[in-house]
Amino acid sequence: MSDRASSNTVIFRYSALLPLTFIIMPVILLGMILYFASLSAGISDFTVVITFIVFGAIILLLGVSPLLTAHEIGSNHLTIRQGWYFQAEIPLKLISHAEPAQGRNFGLGVRCIKKLRKLYVLTSDRRMVSVALSTEIFVRVLGSRKIIGEIIINVNDPAGFVAAINKRTAEGYGHMKSGQKAGSAKR
């Protein structure tokens, strides 16, 4: 489903991992408790600190980051997010259309297939949407710039997302005024 952030922004989330997130976090916390309960009183401070750092990082990465996956359709751009790992802003003027995605999924996470010029920002192999660009652009993926012409993402409401993107592009949202220069996507 979508949430309305403002009159011009629509947020689409993908929450397939939420049940998994709420299973992983208590299991990790239980593991921490059992680990410390099993240790004798002679445990070093270094071991305690390292253990908390490792378990804390796992909780943040696997527990909190998926909660931050949401794609926003603003008045001038589409913001694509994958937790804390990835964010890109695509100007609406560069989007040709959106449609339900068909074809092969190249794995979960953020991946760019150079030969296909496709960017995959996926947390599942379901509810995928393809966003076709009218012109290829550069995006920063895992520290390097990649050229893409299509983006595949997950959303809870693919039909709603496709309708919202196609409506915005048909209405001319984000199109340049005379004298403005075209830009590339931000990180």
Asked if 134 and 172 count as a contact pair (C-beta separation under 8 A), the reply is no
**Within a domain: 179:** no
Cα–Cα distance between 59 and 65 in angstroms, integer?
9
Q: Is residue 125 part of a domain?
A: yes
Same domain? For 53 and 93 the reply is no
Output the CA–CA distances (angstroms, integers) from residue 160 to 58, 68, 99, 129, in the order listed: 33, 20, 10, 11
Q: Which domain holds residue 57?
A: 18-66
Question: Would 94 be classed as within a structural domain?
Answer: yes
Per-residue pLDDT of the chain (187 residues; tens, 9 = 90+): 444 445 677 777 666 555 656 666 677 777 777 666 666 556 666 776 777 788 777 777 666 666 667 899 988 899 998 877 789 999 999 999 999 997 777 677 788 888 989 999 887 788 899 999 999 999 988 888 999 999 999 898 999 999 999 998 888 765 544 333 444 444 4
64-97, pLDDT tens digit by residue?
666 667 899 988 899 998 877 789 999 999 999 9
Domains in the chain, number: 2
- Both 108 and 58 in one domain: the answer is no
- What is the CB neighbour count within 10 angstroms for residue 95? 23
Rg (CA), the chain: 20
**Considering the domain boundaries, does residue 46 fall inside one?**
yes
49 domain residue, yes or no: yes
Based on the fold, state whether residues 103 and 133 are members of the same structural domain: yes
* Backbone φ and ψ of 121, nearest 5°: -125, 85
Which amino acid does the sequence have at 41?
Answer: A
